[in-house]
Structure 1
Amino acid sequence: MENSTRSVSIQEIQDTSGVRFGTSGARGLVADMTSEVCYAYASAFLGAIPQKSGGIAIAMDLRPSSPAIAAACAAAIHDSGLAIDFCGAVPTPALAFHAQERCVPGIMVTGSHIPFDRNGIKFYRADGEITKADEAKISAAVVDVPLGAQTVALPSINRNAYDAYVARYVDFFPPRCFAGMRLGFYEHSSLAREVLKSILSALGAEVISLGRTDEFVPIDTEAVSKADIEQARRWAAQHRFDAIVSTDGDADRPLLGDENGDWFRGDVVGILSAQYLRAQGVVTTVSSNSAVELCGKFEQVIRTRIGSPYVIEGIEKLITAGVTQVVGFEPNGGFLVGSPIERDGRTLAPLMTRDAVLPMLCVLHMARERGVKVSALPGLLPTRFTASDRIQSFPTALSKKLIGEFAESPEAFAALFGSICGSAKRQDQTDGLRIYLESDEIVHFRPSGNAPELRCYAEAGDQARAEQLVAECLQRLKGQLKVE
């Protein structure tokens, strides 16, 4: 006998649970991501896409809460009459590539880099990430949720997603192109800790595992902790690596360090990777390093709001306009391939979701081709330096209130930041508030779309100054939190 059901509005779920769409998927506190909530979201997604037969690919990250969420999403797939193609714990881009190659939709259970007490679900159509219009359709849905069991046992793992992702890069880069390279791999709880090792080893590198843990570590590639900065330098001094590689939790954002253990900024990795791939068109967010334009290597550059759906929209505009060799990236280093990439007789297929592995391989091979140390590569770019950090547990409503005040009143901005920033000459509200200073420096404030955090970005003529701007601005904003 079938379980009875009740109708559930996704809007109601969002209001009562707080689980809602941010810049990348539906996210919320683990305590609020109940089986009913996750079943309802997955069911709404399945109702919003044209797929009515066949299978749905599903994978998950290594957070302790992810198997239960995946089981609830799998139940929705099963109850919709579709097959569950369970890919296990693989990187988000591996799940997306598998779904793309099989022409099936996909569901990825991951909170990416956000704090441990949270998790999320990313949704993929057969042709790539869902759009903002798809998110709106899901949010407006009313679905039937069983009153009884809302989870099913996950089936055995299909290894094809893992294998296809390894082959994607082993086939594109020259055979054994990293032979003789000694690479440290900060594994922590990254989903890449097996697949990246397989790729690098197949390309000839010696890979030394570092820092693996069974406890989930929320690595944020835009706000690397002081502990991780210091640890990378200790590893470099101890082991004499050519480079250190790592990723965030779901392996869609790279973390690349040079032979000295100094981590590269994600937008620097993105610009270098775009150059390596000989891109003609580049799409990146408003918060990326302005060296992307200043380097003069790309025929067209489009700036967007922060979030991969906006980068994808920009990529599609360039492709529609007839631009070839189109890529995109975000300041976190996540790299998207919008069109087939031709290089040295090999072709890389598009992958319209953030990826951590490709940009690291591009930068490492660029160093190999040029015969230089990895640390020399940023010197090929115009001397613009960026920094970023965040205040966690900063109420989103307060972030928006303060940013609104600064946007409306230059006097309010000057009163709080004038002594460190100087005078503002113009502003950009594409995403948050980006303020261009008379000194040709930049400060940018933005509430996170995924968690109650306030982020600050800065750009200056040297790294120390960019870091000083971020640290001082955030310190002054913390004072505002105490006032409230």
Structure 2
Amino acid sequence: MSRPAAAVHRVIKAYDVRGLVGDEIDESFVAEVGAAFARLMRDEGARQVAIGYDMRDSSPSLAAAFASGVTGQGLDVVRIGLASTDQLYFASGLLDCPGAMFTASHNPAAYNGIKLCRAGAKPVGADTGLAAISDDIIAGIPAYDGTNGTITDQDVLTEYGEFLRSLVNTSDLRPLRVAVDAGNGMAGHTAPAVLEAIESITLLPLYFELDGSFPNHEANPLDPANLADLQAFVRENNADIGLAFDGDADRCFVIDERGLPVSPSTVTSLVAARELHREIGATVIHNLITSRAVPELVVERGGTPVRSRVGHSYIKALMADTGAIFGGEHSAHYYFRDFWGADSGMLAALYVLAELGEQQRPLSELTADYQRYEASGEINFTVADAESCVEAVLRSFGSRIQSIDHLDGVTVDLGEGSWFNLRSSNTEPLLRLNVEGRCVEDVDNVVEHVAGEIQRQAELVGQPEAVT
């Protein structure tokens, strides 16, 4: 059967497949995605597909429907069961086969989706397969005239934990009390398998019960409100560090011993420094809205920084093209050459734990070495006309603008250490603002200026409120 293009494009996005269960995604649609993916992978020589899923109520049945679509096109399926996204990437690398992970990451319980990869965890994005899958579904997928594939089960959780620990030396660390907020997501499944085998670590679990209704808070650590419980938990339990994971546990946010967040840019700098100590001269990828402290530190440590657009498919492609040893994003995605160029929040956590445990200073003092600027964090605006808003903001700064580039939205250098990036979201109807400056006052002034211009533009088109 064929499907309306608008309905398909609403769900198959730039990086993944994602939508409301029942209204936008159901078992019938997912089976077609599985068949289209299998056709694409079969043409590239694949013989099997690994499938994992998160703790959402809809995930097992959707994964089963996808598997039926894959086997109906002649490819075998290896089910790894409950998994984090980076555990699925591990399976893709271990088994050298394409993979599909059923998750909607940090989205609310009503959503679900699929993250797809080629063998060796290589990305499948809009330009590398998702558009072809969309076209196949819109046109109607031809029946396969060969033999159906088979389905087998393989638990890779223990091997996943062993592999991550093999990449980071944690044998000589001082005792550490490590608080982990799984947000009722998949870190409740993976954190014990990775961390409990490290003798020096005392694991302090928070919300480890797998529950796709997210009864305690949304599994989205990018929202500061969702870090509040972990911040209090760290202070109450005298933890040395706190780790917060999103729903599919591929992103990791860090809290210091005072209960204060450590920016993902700081974590990127810290991990980059460790990787460059291991391989002087290596390339490190950073997206264009990480702190400028990141490329500065990479150069100082003898490495080569390479700037990327925001989004995992772009960074993974650059990791492969440049042979980069490491890559980091402001959203707390961290990519490792030793992990097939894919992202793993748990592996990034091990690097931070190793750095902390190899010396005696508290985390707040350790991370201060990598913090050079102040940042706004990501601020989102819902607007009717993103393009006109961006043009109005640029006009409003006039001669203050030192330079503009258009790698991803607009990145505007205002001089004296201040800059901002304004870009449309690839996954949501939002305009996103990130600002950095030498001090908090400089950052606040730019944020106020940009927000004011966006609000004025919104009012011109009859939109009463632009800020989300």
TM-score class normalised by the smaller sequence: 0.7 to 0.9
Superposition map of 1:366-405 within 5 A: 366-381=355-370, 383-391=372-380, 394=382, 398-405=385-392
Name the stretch that deviates more: 45-54 or 260-269.
45-54
CA offsets 1:120-173 (integer angstroms, 9 cap, x no match): 211111132225232332233234389xxxxxxx9785312x122101122233
Q: 1:100 to 1:313 in 2, by over 3 A?
A: same
Q: Name 1:286's counterpart in structure 2.
A: 288
Q: 1:53 to 1:105 in 2, by over 3 A?
A: closer
Q: Name 1:445's counterpart in structure 2.
A: 422
Q: Name 1:18's counterpart in structure 2.
A: 10
Distance in 2 separating the partners of 1:119 and 1:200: 28
- The Cα shift of 1:17 comes to 6.4
- The Cα shift of 1:175 comes to 5.0
SS of the residue corresponding to residue 253 of structure 2 reads strand
Q: 1:429 to 1:93 in 2, by over 3 A?
A: same
Distance in 2 separating the partners of 1:60 and 1:481: 40
Q: Name 1:304's counterpart in structure 2.
A: 308
SS of the residue corresponding to residue 97 of structure 1 reads helix
Q: Aligned letter for 2:386?
A: S
Q: Aligned letter for 1:129?
A: P
Superposition map of 1:16-415 within 5 A: 18-22=10-14, 24-30=15-21, 31-49=23-41, 50=43, 54-127=47-120, 128-131=122-125, 132-141=127-136, 142-144=139-141, 158-160=154-156, 162-174=157-169, 176-178=171-173, 180-204=175-199, 205-212=201-208, 214=211, 215-216=213-214, 217-221=217-221, 223-226=222-225, 228-278=226-276, 280-295=282-297, 296-319=300-323, 326-338=325-337, 349-381=338-370, 383-391=372-380, 394=382, 398-406=385-393, 410-411=394-395, 413-414=396-397
SS of the residue corresponding to residue 388 of structure 1 reads coil
Distance in 1 separating the partners of 2:65 and 2:452: 41
Q: Aligned letter for 1:18?
A: R
SS of the residue corresponding to residue 57 of structure 1 reads strand
Q: 1:66 to 1:164 in 2, by over 3 A?
A: same
Residues 252 and 333, structure 2, Cα contact 8 Å, conserved in 1: yes
Distance in 1 separating the partners of 2:251 and 2:293: 20
* Structure 2: runs of 5+ lacking an equivalent: 144-149, 464-468
SS of the residue corresponding to residue 101 of structure 2 reads strand
Name the stretch that deviates more: 48-57 or 291-300.
48-57
Q: 1:383 to 1:449 in 2, by over 3 A?
A: same
CA offsets 1:59-109 (integer angstroms, 9 cap, x no match): 112223323322221121121122221112211111011111111110111
Q: Name 1:343's counterpart in structure 2.
A: none
Deviating 4+ runs (over 6 angstroms) = none
Aligned-residue CA RMSD (Å): 2.9
Distance in 1 separating the partners of 2:227 and 2:305: 31
SS of the residue corresponding to residue 336 of structure 1 reads strand
Distance in 2 separating the partners of 1:134 and 1:56: 15
Distance in 1 separating the partners of 2:443 and 2:28: 45
* Structure 1: runs of 5+ lacking an equivalent: 1-5, 147-153, 320-324, 339-348
SS of the residue corresponding to residue 219 of structure 2 reads coil
Residues 392 and 457, structure 2, Cα contact 8 Å, conserved in 1: no
TM-score between the two structures when normalised by the length of structure 1: 0.82
Residues 182 and 206, structure 2, Cα contact 8 Å, conserved in 1: yes
Q: Aligned letter for 2:354?
A: H
- The Cα shift of 1:312 comes to 2.0
Q: Aligned letter for 1:240?
A: N
Q: 1:454 to 1:68 in 2, by over 3 A?
A: farther
Q: 1:445 to 1:299 in 2, by over 3 A?
A: same
- The Cα shift of 1:39 comes to 2.0
Q: Aligned letter for 1:220?
A: N
- The Cα shift of 1:398 comes to 2.6
Distance in 1 separating the partners of 2:250 and 2:445: 28
Distance in 1 separating the partners of 2:441 and 2:50: 45
Q: 1:364 to 1:387 in 2, by over 3 A?
A: farther
Q: 1:427 to 1:121 in 2, by over 3 A?
A: same
Q: Aligned letter for 1:203?
A: I
Q: 1:203 to 1:107 in 2, by over 3 A?
A: same
Name the stretch that deviates more: 382-391 or 254-263.
382-391
The number of equivalent residue pairs is 439
Q: Aligned letter for 1:85?
A: V
- The Cα shift of 1:294 comes to 1.6
SS of the residue corresponding to residue 140 of structure 1 reads helix
TM-score between the two structures when normalised by the length of structure 2: 0.85
Give percent identity, aligned residues only. 21
Distance in 2 separating the partners of 1:452 and 1:234: 33
Residues 391 and 455, structure 1, Cα contact 8 Å, conserved in 2: yes
Residues 52 and 82, structure 1, Cα contact 8 Å, conserved in 2: no
Q: 1:286 to 1:183 in 2, by over 3 A?
A: same
Q: Aligned letter for 1:358?
A: L
Q: 1:356 to 1:450 in 2, by over 3 A?
A: same
Distance in 1 separating the partners of 2:446 and 2:233: 29
SS of the residue corresponding to residue 101 of structure 1 reads helix
